[in-house]
Structure 1
Amino acid sequence: MPSGKVRWFDAKRGFGFITGDDGEDVFLPAAALPEGVSTIRKGARVEFSMVTGRKGLQALDVQPVGPAPSIVKATRPQPDDMAAIVEDLIKLLDSAGGHLRRHRYPGDAESRKLATLLRAVADDFDVQG
């Protein structure tokens, strides 16, 4: 049974690719995942069978092998990029602090933007998984 690593998988689009141990790319449709599984992490080791379809090799009966690597760690920004993001976030927080010192909250649009950015940065710092 061939094996390899998930190169990428997009649950919304319903497919991805596996890079086999032989270096060959194999199409990975969502239907090939085990029953009850709707996504698989980038870098996860898998065993699979395959067939040649209209557009090349296609994986069937994909089975994860061992623990999967953290998707958070695999998709984290580089530290230099993250430093720039944090510095920009500090400027936005400082602006919000100015509003609060004047006894009012920032406007709705600014508040939503800040909340969205805080959540995104928090996700980049979170190393669970």
Structure 2
Amino acid sequence: MPTGKVKWYDAEKGFGFISGDDGEDVFLHANALPEGESTIKGGTRVDYGVVEGRRGAQALSVTIIDAPPSVAKNLRQRDRKPADEMVGIVEDVIKLLDNVSNGLRRGRYPERAQGAQLAQVLRRVADDLEG
């Protein structure tokens, strides 16, 4: 299977191009993306099959080999909180989860807005821990 990097991809239009390691550009349609993926970032290393379409080479069965590094994640790592600050945050999250757990024992889910807010807090804390 040929390999290359995604040159660009427009999720709204549903297509883009792969720049093959052999130097040839290959059309990339949304249908060729891996199952569950609706978009792909430029710079992502992929392998793919090729079929000759009406307008030239077209990628089939794209598999992601290596995603490009996330700039946002790298910025978050530099802003990572000190460990002693995280202790208090984790303890507060434990209290929040304990309250949710008590409500669930009584057969009550948190209100939708509270659940969404809690999920957002958990994601942020997970990001800080993962660093």
Give the TM interval when normalised to the shorter protein.
0.5 to 0.7
SS at match of 2:66: coil
Whether 2:58 is the aligned partner of 1:58: answer yes
Partner of 2:34: 34
Structure 2 residue runs without a partner (length 5+) = 73-131
Q: Is the 8 A contact 2:8 2:17 kept in 1?
A: yes
Q: Which residue number corresponds to residue 108 of structure 1? A: none
Paired AA for residue 60 in structure 1 = L
How many residues of Structure 1 are paired with residues of Structure 2 in the alignment? 73
Separation in structure 2 between the aligned mates of residue 62 and residue 32 of structure 1, nearest angstrom: 6
1:61-91 superposed Cα distances (whole Å, 9 cap, x missing partner): 000002323376xxxxxxxxxxxxxxxxxxx
Measured in 2, the distance between the counterparts of 1:50 and 1:69 equals 26
DSSP-derived class of the 2:31 partner: helix
Contact 2:43–2:67 (8 Å) recurs in 1 = no
- Cα offsets for 1:36-66 (capped at 9, x unmatched): 1000010000000010000000000000002
Change (3 A) 1:2 1:48: same
Structural mapping, 1:1-129, within 5 Å: 1-70=1-70
- Aligned equivalents of 1:5 and 1:21: distance in 2? 8
Answer yes or no: is the 8 Å Cα contact 1:34–1:61 preserved in 2: yes
> Identity rate of aligned residues, in percent?
61
**TM-score, structure 1 as length reference:** 0.53
1:30 touches 1:39 (CA, 8 Å); kept in 2?
Answer: yes
Say if 1:44 and 1:69, in contact at 8 Å, map to a contact too: no
Closer, same or farther in 2 for the Cα pair 1:4/1:71, shift >3 Å?
farther
Q: What is the alpha-carbon root mean square deviation over aligned residues?
A: 1.7
- After superposition, the C-alpha distances for 1:84-121 in whole angstroms (9 at most, x for unaligned) are xxxxxxxxxxxxxxxxxxxxxxxxxxxxxxxxxxxxxx
Structure 1: 5+ residue runs without aligned partners?
73-129
Q: What's the offset of the Cα at 1:21?
A: 0.1
1:105 is aligned to: none
